[in-house]
Chains A and B, each alone.
Chain A
Amino acid sequence: MPETPELKRVANQTLEALLPLAAVPLALTIGAVMLWLLKVNPLAAYGALVSGVVGSVFGMTQSLVQATPLLFVALGIVIAFRGGVLNIGAEGQITVGALAATAFALSLPHLPAVVMIPLCIIAGALAGAAWGGIPGFLKARLGVNEILSTIMMNQIAIQLNLYLLTGPMLDPAEVAAGTSIAQSALLPRAAWLPRLVPQTLLNAGTILALILAILVYIFMWRTTIGYRIRAVGLNPNASRYAGINVRIYQVLSLVLGGAFAGIAGAALVMGVQRRMIYGLSGGYGFTGIVVALFGQLHPLGAIPAAIIFGALLVGADQMQRTMQVPSAIVTVILGMIVLFVVSSTIFSRRRARKRQTHV
């Protein structure tokens, strides 16, 4: 391989990093055209979106609140993708993680906060890890396509949640009032994550997510296990020849991916809702995929990406309230961003191939 001048290499890398960023303005532009065709003034709609985020302290903190589960989920997806497995099951892993944290807090209500909070988060992580581990095991042992099995696990989690919230875990107060809204009892105060700004929902979960992002970076790039996960993802055959047990690392990447989504669920109930509700996962599992892709499958890249998409979710809420634009437009935009980002990788691959043929 000829020595590429350092400057050119850096320029190329910068271009490759920036190219996917164009996906957001492109998708927003097409979204604007759609709104215009639907007789909605796109400037007014996007104006409402922006003012929903930057127009108030609540909007700004809420963007971070929304970014938090996205970051947890994206960290798990980054690990799984780097290990060569696609985890589409975060939605279900969030749900079981939240259920486990809720069940733990409600069954041992008298624990002090210093014990309660870490144990609840661990319970969420373990449940999420198990929910991700099943598809991981099935893939490693029996070659079951993990994309399909994780999607099915999502649907199973939805039904499990409904079953528990309308039966065994239904809030006794709801039963007494005869209203029977599908939600659990309020968590004991010891399990509440401290709120950081008064009158907002911003809580300590956000700080935990940031710390974990840095830890995941260290884990993936500075430890042997992380190195092996990445090696298995890059080239399973070469890894096998190098003596790495490929199957174990595939299972591990899905288990870790599930654990992070489980923590997201635990943090949502402990920091935001303070009880388990129906529809808690609310699309974070899928938006987290977009965040991970947009953050270049890097744990630190996921931080700004999570904030951008967290803000997008908050702005869309405002757009729906003031402009009657269905928040489904955000799903459309997210879908387009995924398509653009995965399509843009062809340019970097083409260039890589060209470099190889010059040998």
Chain B
Amino acid sequence: MSDLFTLPVILGIVYSGIRLATPYLFAAIGETFAQASGVLNLGVEGIMLMGAFTGFYVSTITGNLWLGLLGAAAAGILLGLLMALVSVTLQAEQGISGIGLSLFGLGLSSLLFEKLMSSTVAINGFPSVRIPLLGNIPYLGDALFNHSLLVYAAFLMVPISTYVLNRTTLGLKIRAVGQNPQAADSLGISVAGIRYLTVTFGGMMAGIAGASLTLALINLFQENMTSGMGYIAVALVYFGGWRPVGVLGGSLLFSFVNAFQLWLQVKGVKIPSNIALMLPYILTILALTFAANRARQPAALAKPFERGEA
């Protein structure tokens, strides 16, 4: 066992842990905004798949990764708008409509992939960018500061979204709408407007999260390639206590367990791989069970708002 934890091994796990946190961070921070305003968007899984496909497809035919990313964001925005229409305007039960949206995204991404792309050739994803100075720190530089731009962007979203949610008028409005929509409405805040904004933003982030898989981490598209990551991202919002910093902690915990699990398999440690692959999902259930601060849950989460209803 001793050769399992040498310095290069630990640095390798740190490097992959940081990388693998990217899709969780994008998706879960977007979902944090939606849930903070009172909308539970369970369609993240489907939106991620559409983002992953769109990013891959557009990048393949244009040869431009940025256009691919833009396409993924646009696909996310469209599906976010659809979710907002269903859950805000039409006040549908959010748990079920999210499942519907996920089925829709799963089916559509597979359908388009089979019909539009005959062969699958991996693309050259976003390259690693070494951050000047920090990237030259021995050992740590490689593990922490030599990643693709999407990875840095995902981590940057944490302070930015913390600031927006806690220090801006918009953030105050979002939280007001999530805690007490009646009061927010009586103060002249448009409950529907805020919820459309957050759910659409969450959709865009989920689209980018999907694209981070096909444009930076795996560089390929496969049917149902997220296999539950979108749902895990939703769970991370609960785990993180509806705060971006908490979401960061949860995402890192997840990605490190995943990186460790991958490493065990590479090293041929005698654990059946299927048992190891259960770990993230068991961890999610444990995380939900011991999620700190349930009291922080937005009071109006998953409750549609109708003006004039007590």
Question: B275 near A: Cβ within 8 Å?
Answer: yes
Bound: A264/B197 CA distance, A: 42
* Chain B contacts for A159, CB-based, 8 A: 274-275, 277-278, 281
* Chain A contacts for B278, CB-based, 8 A: 155-156, 159-160
**B90 closest partner in A (C-beta):** A343
Known: A142-B289, A156-B281. A163 touches B272 (CB 8 A): yes
Question: A326 near B: Cβ within 8 Å?
Answer: yes
Q: Is the CB of A155 within 8 A of B274?
A: no
Question: B22 near A: Cβ within 8 Å?
Answer: no
Q: Is the CB of B99 within 8 A of A88?
A: yes
Q: Is the CB of A152 within 8 A of B285?
A: yes
Known: A326-B110, A335-B100, A339-B104. A144 touches B275 (CB 8 A): no
Question: B115 near A: Cβ within 8 Å?
Answer: yes
* Chain B contacts for A336, CB-based, 8 A: 100, 104
Q: Is the CB of A166 within 8 A of B274?
A: yes
Q: Shortest CB–CB separation between residue B25 and chain A, in angstroms?
A: 18
Bound: A163/B306 CA distance, A: 49
Question: B148 near A: Cβ within 8 Å?
Answer: no
Q: Is the CB of A345 within 8 A of B285?
A: no
The residue that B289 contacts in the complex, of A138, A156, A286, with Cβ under 8 A, is A138
Known: A144-B285, A326-B114, A331-B110. A167 touches B103 (CB 8 A): no
* Chain B contacts for A335, CB-based, 8 A: 46, 100-108
Q: Is the CB of B97 within 8 A of A329?
A: no
* Chain A contacts for B46, CB-based, 8 A: 335
Task: Say whether chain A's binding surface is mostly helix, strand, loop, or mixed.
Answer: helix
Interface residues on B, range: 35 or more
Known: A144-B288, A152-B284. A38 touches B100 (CB 8 A): no
Question: A176 near B: Cβ within 8 Å?
Answer: no
Q: Shortest CB–CB separation between residue B85 and chain A, in angstroms?
A: 8
* Chain B contacts for A34, CB-based, 8 A: 108, 111
* Chain B contacts for A143, CB-based, 8 A: 294
CB contact list, A27-79 vs B, under 8 A? 34, 38, 40
Q: Shortest CB–CB separation between residue A331 and chain B, in angstroms?
A: 3
Q: Shortest CB–CB separation between residue B93 and chain A, in angstroms?
A: 5
Q: Is the CB of B107 within 8 A of A334?
A: yes
Question: B253 near A: Cβ within 8 Å?
Answer: no
Max chain A C-beta neighbours (<10 A), residue from B99, B106, B223: B99
Max chain A C-beta neighbours (<10 A), residue from B100, B228, B275, B306: B100
User: Residues of A within 8 Å of B, CB-based: how many?
Assistant: 47
Bound: A147/B235 CA distance, A: 10
Q: Is the CB of A330 within 8 A of B274?
A: no
**A333 closest partner in B (C-beta):** B107
Bound: A152/B283 CA distance, A: 9
Q: Digit string of A145-185 for contact with B (CB within 8 Å is 1, else 0)? A: 10111011111100110110011000000000000000000
Q: Is the CB of A339 within 8 A of B97?
A: yes
Bound: A163/B279 CA distance, A: 13
Known: A155-B227, A289-B96, A339-B86. A147 touches B42 (CB 8 A): yes
Known: A38-B115, A144-B288. A155 touches B228 (CB 8 A): yes
Bound: A153/B93 CA distance, A: 22
The residue that A148 contacts in the complex, of B227, B238, B274, with Cβ under 8 A, is B238
Question: B74 near A: Cβ within 8 Å?
Answer: no
CB contact list, B189-243 vs A, under 8 A? 223, 227-228, 231-232, 234-235, 238
Q: Shortest CB–CB separation between residue B94 and chain A, in angstroms?
A: 9
Known: A148-B234, A155-B228, A326-B111. A346 touches B103 (CB 8 A): no
Question: A195 near B: Cβ within 8 Å?
Answer: no
Question: B133 near A: Cβ within 8 Å?
Answer: no
Known: A143-B294, A148-B231, A148-B235. A346 touches B91 (CB 8 A): yes
* Chain A contacts for B228, CB-based, 8 A: 151-152, 154-155
* Chain B contacts for A163, CB-based, 8 A: 272, 274-275
Bound: A333/B112 CA distance, A: 14
Known: A88-B99, A326-B110. A342 touches B115 (CB 8 A): no
Bound: A38/B117 CA distance, A: 12
Question: B95 near A: Cβ within 8 Å?
Answer: yes
Q: Which residues of A contact B (CB under 8 A)?
A: 34, 38, 40, 86, 88, 138, 142-145, 147-149, 151-156, 159-160, 162-163, 166-167, 286, 289, 293, 326, 328-339, 342-343, 345-346, 349, 353
Pick 6 A–B contacts, CB within 8 A, sort by A.
A34-B108, A155-B227, A289-B99, A328-B106, A331-B106, A353-B309
**Other A-B pairs, 11, CB within 8 Å; known A152-B282, A326-B111:** A38-B112, A40-B115, A138-B288, A145-B238, A145-B288, A147-B99, A148-B235, A151-B231, A163-B275, A335-B106, A342-B86
Q: Which residues of B contact A (CB under 8 A)?
A: 42, 46, 82, 86, 90-93, 95-97, 99-108, 110-112, 114-116, 223, 227-228, 231-232, 234-235, 238, 272, 274-275, 277-278, 281-282, 284-285, 288-289, 294, 306, 309
